[in-house]
Amino acid sequence: MRRNIFVWALYDFANSIVMIAFLFYFSQWLVVDSGKPDWWYNATLVVSSVLFIITAPILGQRLDITARKLSGVRITTVLTIAAYLSTALVTLFFPQLVLLATILFTFALYFYILSFVYYTPMINDLATFTNKGFVSGIGMGANYLGQVLGILAVLPFATGTLYLFGAPGRAQALLPAVILFALFSLPMLLAYRENIVPVVQKMRIGDEYQKILQTFKQIISIRNLSLLIIGYFFFSDALLTFSNNFPIYLEKVYAASDTVKTYLTAAILTFSGIGSVIIGRLADKTGHKRTLLAMLVCWAVLFVLFAYAPSFNFVIGVTLVGGILFGPMWGVSRAMVGDLAPKAIEASSFSIYTVAERFATFVGPLTWSAVLAGTSAQGNMSYNYAVLSMSALILMGTFFVMRIKAIPTEVGSRGNARI
């Protein structure tokens, strides 16, 4: 079991390396170096999310039947590596083929997200109710440590201190990230042990979509689970939107340099990793719902402090506190899904949970953009109003999480439940 937990967390560490490197450097290669408009990059996020939303529920439902999580992780990992590697090679040797690189990157994002359909439900195979928050926190901690390594390891290639081959500049940072991802994901692909009973059942797409509707109705009928997913939609919406716009916010409001933004991001990720483990352990002792609600209240306050910060140094302090609370938000909520999802539809439940996060890539940015447009006459103050709108989304999510009722302690193969 310990070996499985280790390689499971190491996989989260591995895929976060390639994620952060491409988030930082491919986006700039596309928009800044290649001169394409911002919507090219945003389109990759939207299209990959649409592909995921269409396919993830089917795959999650199939997973409930077959229980073959490891084979799914292996297949999606190979596809992810192939797509990211192809993107990196095009940027290095054929930088003029910008459209091809963008298409390949879109598929890389899709396969990367898709791997979590199989990876995330493994939490219920690795932990019981008594330590699920801690194990989930270990995974999130590894994720953020991987992001720190990723952003720092490829920096010398992006700045020209180290040079591989092909086109110079930001394109140099992508291939090393793919190589690190491939190397650190191998233990999961080769050493993880899964106990399953093979199930052979043919799949008909039409029938699968009918089953998805039935499963969705079943999930919605589970009051606590549906409340959590709706609440998660709102608060993940706020956190993802703010994190994606954070560099722009710092530059527009405080004229922060790229160097300052990079090191501040690394500090945030480090604190997120530490907070994921510590607060994950705390959540197991005090209750997942209670811990999640406390963090939501803190985030509502933090967004107000961001909006009315008297100085940049004050923002740095608030940011580091937010870093401690950022990682555990995903770790604790993921553990709660594991608590509340019936065994028969746990993979489908995690798929809907992830789909809720992908829908957040639509609504959150629209809210942020609408507030900026509506308050544009206020100058840079419009960004402060946009931050305040994220606090409103947090409060909406808090409302639904508060309505989750405590469930009786369950004794069985999963241990003791406590919400």
CATH code at 396?
1.20.1250.20
Task: Note down the domain range covering 355.
Answer: 2-193+204-402
**Is residue 210 included in any domain, yes or no?**
yes
Which range among 78-92, 113-127, 249-263, 279-293 shows the weakest confidence by mean pLDDT?
249-263
Taking the C-alpha atoms of residue 226 and residue 216, their distance in angstroms, rounded to an integer, is 10
More confident residue, 147 or 131: 147
Task: Kindly write down the DSSP assignment for every residue of 164-180, as one continuous string.
Answer: -SSS-SGGGGHHHHHHH
How many structural domains compose the chain? 1
What does the pLDDT look like over 28-53, one tens digit per residue? 788 778 888 767 877 787 788 788 87
- Count of residues for the chain? 419
Q: 167: helix, coil or strand?
A: coil
Residue 129 in tokens: 């109710």
Percent of the chain at pLDDT > 90 equals: 24
**Is residue 166 included in any domain, yes or no?**
yes
Q: Which residue has the tokens 């930088």?
A: 95
pLDDT of residue 205 exceeding 60, the answer is: no
Nearest residue to 393 (alpha-carbon basis) of 230, 247, 244, 248: 230
Distances (CA, A) of 319 to 105, 142, 245, 415: 30, 20, 14, 37
**Is residue 419 included in any domain, yes or no?**
no
Can you state the percent helix, strand and coil of the chain, rounding each to 5? 85, 0, 15
Taking the C-alpha atoms of residue 231 and residue 248, their distance in angstroms, rounded to an integer, is 27
More confident residue, 109 or 344: 109
**Is residue 20 included in any domain, yes or no?**
yes
pLDDT of residue 15 exceeding 80, the answer is: yes
Instruction: Determine which helix (DSSP H) or strand (DSSP E) holds 109, and give its type and residue range.
Output: helix 98-119
**Is residue 244 included in any domain, yes or no?**
yes
Mean pLDDT of 214-226: 72
**Is residue 291 included in any domain, yes or no?**
yes
**Is residue 407 included in any domain, yes or no?**
no
Give the pLDDT confidence score for residue 223 in this predicted structure.
80
More confident residue, 87 or 406: 87
pLDDT of residue 236 exceeding 50, the answer is: yes
Give the pLDDT confidence score for residue 90 in this predicted structure.
95
pLDDT of residue 208 exceeding 80, the answer is: no
Q: Write the single-letter amino acid at 416.
A: N
**Is residue 413 included in any domain, yes or no?**
no
